Chain A
Amino acid sequence: MLASSWKAAGFTYNKYLQIAARAIRKSLKEEARLKAEKRGPLELKYVKWENGKQGEPQNLPK
């Protein structure tokens, strides 16, 4: 079943939900879709501070 295929690919449950939700958003009618797709992309960056100095900003892996 489905569960095995996404688990086998090493996806987390969150990643799986994110893909499923994206497919649903893309299937909406134009007006609702434009509103919904704004909440799709999500990015997180983090920066490590050492000895009072800012390090390189890193993307949090998805």
Chain B
Amino acid sequence: MNTFRAARFALRAKPTASFLGRRTYADAAGPSDKIRLSLTMPHQAIFKGTDVVQVNIPAETGDMGVLANHVPSVEQLRPGLVEIIEEAGSTRQYFVSGGFAVVQPNSQLSVNAVEAYTLDEFSIEAARAQLAESQKIASGQGSEADIAEAKIEVEVLESLIAALK
């Protein structure tokens, strides 16, 4: 159990050379140094079983980098940037609205979100205008539900604006 904990802890940190060589779980599927990524939304699949090198996800418990042979886990996502490092070494970034990431034992990673867009599809002015409005509602005299709704929006938009800068 102790070694499992240590491995999990190590994998949570940003990747280092030392654990690239480590085998923790299944060795079977796909090329052993790649992770098979599916990035899907209800209306579209951006990645569908594509082999990539590394995926960084904004989990509720903290940002984590997922490489091949990661310990299986289920992570709830915060609104934030999913970063995908592809085989050619290029990086792709998507801002997701929140959802779940499931790391399966055979180096498969499924990231499910309601909305995911590349950063160039956002308008920072629109985000800022919305943020100002939501902040006003959040600190206003509205009903508890309205305030809670505005607080969620503030959190999402602050994260988005930080990513766009």
Contact residues in A for B134 (Cβ distance below 8 Å) = 23
Q: Once the chains bind, are B123 and A21 in contact (CB under 8 Å)?
A: no
Contact residues in B for A20 (Cβ distance below 8 Å) = 79, 97-98, 114, 152-153, 156
Q: Is A47 an interface residue (CB 8 A)?
A: no
Q: Interface size of B by Cβ–Cβ distance < 8 Å? A: 31
Q: Which single residue of chain A is at the shortest CB-CB distance from B42?
A: A39
Query: Is chain B's binding surface mostly helix, strand, loop or mixed?
Result: helix
Q: Which single residue of chain A is at the shortest CB-CB distance from B151?
A: A5
Interface residues of A (CB under 8 A from B): 2-3, 5-6, 8-11, 16-21, 23-30, 32-33, 36, 39
Interface residues of B (CB under 8 A from A): 42-43, 60, 78-79, 95, 97-99, 114-115, 117, 121-123, 126-127, 130, 134, 144-145, 147-149, 151-153, 155-157, 160
